[in-house]
């Protein structure tokens, strides 16, 4: 079908507002966390479709679909997830998918705003449902219908690819709509939304209580160096952060010592960040952070003058409790009490709409779906152990590894931060872990997922890359395999530490 002839037509619940036949290089700007400030440029021609979906009177879901020419189409469809509170269509991974030959779409999840903005939530419960699950599902239905009409045939396979809130969206799709996608890449999923922000509220309550309760950048670097030394880190990366038993109390200042040590309040702050959060009944609420990259924790925590311009966790946590839980923009995080307020959050209809905690993936498995779940151990925003928590809940629900391994695998990247970057190998075929057009299943998440779905070859390990100065144009600085959990990539004792061949996947060393 001709690109322009799509205007005014309906596909699923989506109404096409406008189209653009892009024939030459185009640069697209987006303020999402995955697209650089200068925008993303693609030279691949495509039919750009903008549509709106209004499943309720208060819904206003915007989506874009990019359709390569029939001669360049690989016969498949890919959907791209969001980040934070969404509000933006994410262009960079859309361009990667397009350049790999996919018909690709993404949505703003039902509202317009920055990813950290929660102000739109007040008085709009249907928009929260759109954010939680409806927008991504309806975009999938509409996109596949659009693809079928434009190319004259349905996509042979459909994939979802998201990280952070996009990872949550991927898990939500597997849980609620198991036939939407043949395969899902879910990275660093924010699936325990209220629990995660509860833990953050606890951190910032302590950190903000007194000026000496947080660490300077110099002190964080001191802790970082000590944790690497305690757990045999090499070149700034731990082999196995999950089994590192570093205790920051070893840095407590001795009598008369004032430098290169931690005060008692600083030790408490660090222990609070490492420690799992439990309720009064002894049930885990949310896991703590893993050691190995403490110098970067200013990105998420601490007073404004110490956090740096990239800090995100505190305003996100406060915004979620203000807007989603209490619907009160004047709610003060200092008033928070775990045993009183967490149950209120868990019972909130808004939180129920966005949480993706259900461990029963039996319908997704029965539909032939495949789930590739990944998380960076150095993630300061969403602890990697939250992904382990969810993975283990699926094992418990569905009968153990033997019942799960055939369709669901978890990969943990040591040295990788939130959705990419970090001191260790963190790029899966491109600059970020999300995906890029490498099309190599040994190095690329979507390619590995497609190889699993289409050829029946399950990934046992995927090789991550660290580029010099995080710039692919400057060449490869290091590579390391990521192993299917619970296996860990350990250095074999010989060979260069920056070579993937110097590591082997094995069960954790106790």
**How many CB atoms sit inside 10 A of residue 67's CB?**
27
In sequence order, which ranges of 348-383 are alpha helices (DSSP H)? 349-354, 362-366
Q: What is the C-alpha separation between 43 and 290, in angstroms, rounded?
A: 41
For the chain, the first-to-last Cα distance in angstroms comes to: 60
Residue 475 CA to residue 458 CA, distance in Å, equals 29
Contact between 345 and 194 (Cβ < 8 Å): yes
Contacts of residue 403, defined as CB under 8 A and 6 or more positions apart, other chains included, come to 395
CA 54 to CA 153: how far, in whole Å? 26
Q: How many C-alpha atoms does 31 have within 13 Å on its Cβ side?
A: 11
Upstream peptide bond of 486 is cis (omega within 30 degrees of 0):
yes
Helices (H) and strands (E) counted in the chain, each on its own, are 15, 18
Q: Sign (positive/negative) of CA torsion 392, 203, 376, 227?
A: negative
DSSP 35-96: S-TT-EEE---EEEEEEEE-SSTT--EEEEEEE--TTT--SEEEEE---TT--S---HHHHH
Integer angstrom CA distances of residue 160 from 183, 316, 428: 7, 25, 16
Catalytic residues: 164, 379, 418
CA angle 93, 299, 422 (to 5 degrees): 55
């Amino acid at each position: 079908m001709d690109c322009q002839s799509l205007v005014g037509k309906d596909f699923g619940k989506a109404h096409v507002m406008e189209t653009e036949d892009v024939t030459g290089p185009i640069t697209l700007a987006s303020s999402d966390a995955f697209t650089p400030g200068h925008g993303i440029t693609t030279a691949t021609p495509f039919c750009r479709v903008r549509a709106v979906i209004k499943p309720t009177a208060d819904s206003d879901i915007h989506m874009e679909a990019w359709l390569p020419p029939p001669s360049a189409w690989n016969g498949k469809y890919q959907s791209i997830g969001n980040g934070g509170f969404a509000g933006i269509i994410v262009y960079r991974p859309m361009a990667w998918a397009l350049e790999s030959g996919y018909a690709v779409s993404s949505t703003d999840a039902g509202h317009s705003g920055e990813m950290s903005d929660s102000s739109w939530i007040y008085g709009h419960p249907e928009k929260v449902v759109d954010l939680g699950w409806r927008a991504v599902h309806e975009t999938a239905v509409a996109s596949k219908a659009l693809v079928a009409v434009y190319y004259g045939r349905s996509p042979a396979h459909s994939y979802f690819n998201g990280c952070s809130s996009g990872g949550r969206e991927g898990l939500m799709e597997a849980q609620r709509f198991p036939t939407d996608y043949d395969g899902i890449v879910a990275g660093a999923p924010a699936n325990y939304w209220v629990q995660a922000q509860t833990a953050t509220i606890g951190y910032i309550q302590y950190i903000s209580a007194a000026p000496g309760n947080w660490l300077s950048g110099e002190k964080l670097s001191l802790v970082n160096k000590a944790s690497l030394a305690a757990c045999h880190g090499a070149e700034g990366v731990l082999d196995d952060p999950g089994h590192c038993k570093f205790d920051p109390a070893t840095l407590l200042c001795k009598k008369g010592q004032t430098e290169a040590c931690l005060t008692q309040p600083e030790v408490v702050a660090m222990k609070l960040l490492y420690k799992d959060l439990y309720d009064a009944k002894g049930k885990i609420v949310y896991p703590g952070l893993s050691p190995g990259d403490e110098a970067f924790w200013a990105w998420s925590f601490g007073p404004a003058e110490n956090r740096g311009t990239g800090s995100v966790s505190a305003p996100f946590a406060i915004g979620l409790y203000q807007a989603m839980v209490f619907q009160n923009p004047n709610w003060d995080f200092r008033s928070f009490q775990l045993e009183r307020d967490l149950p209120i959050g868990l019972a909130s209809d808004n939180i129920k709409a966005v949480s993706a905690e259900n461990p029963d993936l039996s319908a997704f498995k029965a539909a032939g779906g495949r789930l590739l779940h990944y998380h960076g151990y150095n993630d300061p925003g969403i602890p990697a152990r939250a992904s382990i928590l969810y993975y283990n809940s699926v094992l418990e629900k569905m009968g153990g590894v033997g019942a799960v391994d055939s369709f669901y695998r978890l990969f943990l990247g040591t040295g990788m931060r939130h959705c990419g970057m970090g001191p260790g190998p963190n790029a899966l075929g491109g600059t970020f872990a999300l995906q890029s057009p490498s099309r190599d299943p040994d190095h690329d998440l979507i390619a590995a997922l497609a190889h699993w779905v289409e050829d029946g070859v399950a990934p046992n390990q995927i090789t991550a890359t660290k580029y010099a100065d995080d710039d692919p144009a400057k060449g490869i600085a290091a590579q390391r395999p990521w192993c299917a959990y619970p296996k860990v990539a350990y250095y074999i004792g010989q060979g260069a530490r920056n070579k993937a061949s110097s590591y082997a996947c094995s069960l954790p060393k106790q």
